[in-house]
Structure 1
């Protein structure tokens, strides 16, 4: 159950609070009006009795020929109101005349009567309701003080007097009706106001829970200021929420990019506190550091990065500039080369990136070495061809048989040069355009059989037998030329370097859902263990003199390795137990 259900809503609180104050005001107003009306009726009756007192005094004062008591009886009976009691009192309080009691001895002194006290002080006075000690009846008394005596008249509280003093109730009904109308109008107003407050409260609760805002804005269509304010607040929040969502998406993109980036990236506050760091940053920092780092912030304790730390401290102490501040250093540590770059941003936070350029440096070195090797390999046949041709050109009397020998040697060297350029072209194509190589269904068994037939004469000359254990229809999706290069280069390599009177074994010894596993071995002379890991390097030769004499380019096994990799496999070389060299490699069924 919602805790808010235990409390009144805002509009009800407002309604009850204002209506309570309004009702208190109405009650006070009615009480005041009632009292005022009552006093008005009393004053009206008092004034009427004062007029009678004044006429009675004038009659008594002017008529001195008759007995005052007799005359008073006569005047009271003739001119007074029904049930009107008249009393004449001396200044000392003794009663001179009372129309209800003729025996004056029974009448007490009236000096203490309230109306008499007021009359003696102010000239006239009244007492609203007091029971007479003489008659036992409640009267309304009105007294007027004159120099020689005080005249007091009294009316008994009968039905007529009570009705005459009763306040007019019409204004009460009118006030009640107006009050009900105003309460209804204010209820409607607070109800409409409550809709806006309720929606604002719902909006605040959803915003606090980070939920989508889907409020039907009835208040937004109302013509009150709170409705307009509610509409504007919610619209502003929606725009802020959309902006926050967009920033969150961009942040996720940035984090994903940092995590899959091939460089170590670390972003820190100006106090050198970590904001965002990827795994490579920690990995590279630990490779540079002499000890394992417990946190990313420990990178600032690495002595090799002290120059970066000093740069950060120096630049943060300078006035802020618009342009970014950068610094980069190169560090060689543990056989690896790193470039470290620092960028300081406008708010003095900064980014440190660490790149492992060991492979790039190695690639530069290998390319430089490859260029030198290519130049060296090309130099030998070109020099031979040039030397033989110069001999022929400069000797007019050279014998025909000797010239024929020189030309044959030139032709052999040109063939060697052609093969070298072809192999270089194949490697370049595999390096730079591997993704553009066309793939099709290739029958490996048929390719191997064709290669054996092509080299049958060479095999016969060197007394080499081939034991092909491949079953029929071993098919993969690959490039025919590259698959052909794999098995042809391995075969040519065995024929050239394994020796005579040997056997070559070709076998697919295993198969699973993804790969075929091949073995290509011979029973020849083999290779010393120190050369095994370098057999696939370009232009690497175990016996350089013998290799050139046999016409090899030094690129055959490099072509084999690249072709295997392009077909999703891997290759390694080892000396077999039967003697000779064995190549074990895999080819993916679908590439």
Structure 2
């Protein structure tokens, strides 16, 4: 990544600016020099042409005075200072009348197609810079002038002397080059200062993009100009924004922490019904209200019981403007033995909040505390009274038969075992209530643990023709107490085996996972329980069928242990009847506790 960045910024801003402007400047200078060079060369060509035109004019004056063309032309050439001057007289039809280099053996060809001749016929004068003569085989500079019935043409050989004479003056090139170098040096110093400011801004922007604070040891030196002032203002604005962002982040963390430990389910959504923030209880309560488990939070808007809330939200979305005041709606829902108060608040930006509050929880807790002492006394009294009654019968009847005495002693032993289990479960609950923070935590593989429990109860499952469908995927791991997590799934399994009936199916599934929690479902296809019992299943010593529970040896504390173990692991548990029959427990376990 660093290499690609260095390649991308191989040239600094000042370097790119300097090279760009220098390229344009040099292009302009080159074009200017080329233009000036051609212009000066053209000027010297015109000057030479004017000189030859002057020669032509003087020759014509002599010819006008002396009708002998050959004699007059030869004398003119001999008397002229230009060396190697060639003269030619051509009539208007292109025929050569006289040529100073004429070889008298053969007549010269028609010159009507010569460039300088054509120009002279058309404009009275013309020239051709460099053309090789077909007569002499030498390159000449031709200049022709029309006078009356013929054309006077003079020519100079295009030799080294003439080439040097036609060259442009190189002094202006040197002057232009030196001036350009001085301007480039001045511009380089200017762009270097500008580049230093841009580099400082770039360094600042990179630190800001990486969310690094602008510390005192990181000094940004800017020039004392408009760019420097703007840069200083940008840094000050960033510092204020950074401080504000840090403060908002702290407040956000406080808010999220508060929502997660809140005793009500809370969900905040965008105007498009997309999740912004949802706490654990919101998901838990939504699944209790829904007839099917929700895989995503947005599915809450499809719950039939919440159609009034959904309609209320849709109504205000269609209006597109909800005014300055907040809009509220509240409904009550009774589902699975619980009463929920659901409130929706729509904010000014069309986002909204839905809160779900279980109003039966506080009442249940008061009732549980009031009945706890009575239940413990009652549950302890039953086995103690049975043991006392059997022992009194044995003691007061000296002639009791040995067989009957053995029966009484076996019943006493069974009741003492029940009393022992009862005291053990009470001890476990007390330990979870009073010393939850002292429980050792370790990495627990839920998939392996559940598979082990299914294997342990396999004989009981076969006796009652119960099928277990374990849909847990591999490697569902969390940090917790192995013994407590074992007690959760073991008590739920024992409860289903004992009370759900025969020829049923038990389903174990982790139907959802997010950043913090696993969401589990433990259900059976038995007869379920009456709705009025659902909210009290986790009470200590509560029994749906008291006589049957005692007959099966239950203590009435199994589901209470399950609930406390789930709470210790940062989760919640609830029970509901499935539409197809049977009882379903929905609970969450935190990944890190």
TM-score by length of 2: 0.50
- Of structures 1 and 2, the one scoring higher in RCO (CA 8 A, sep 6+) is 2
Larger Rg: 1
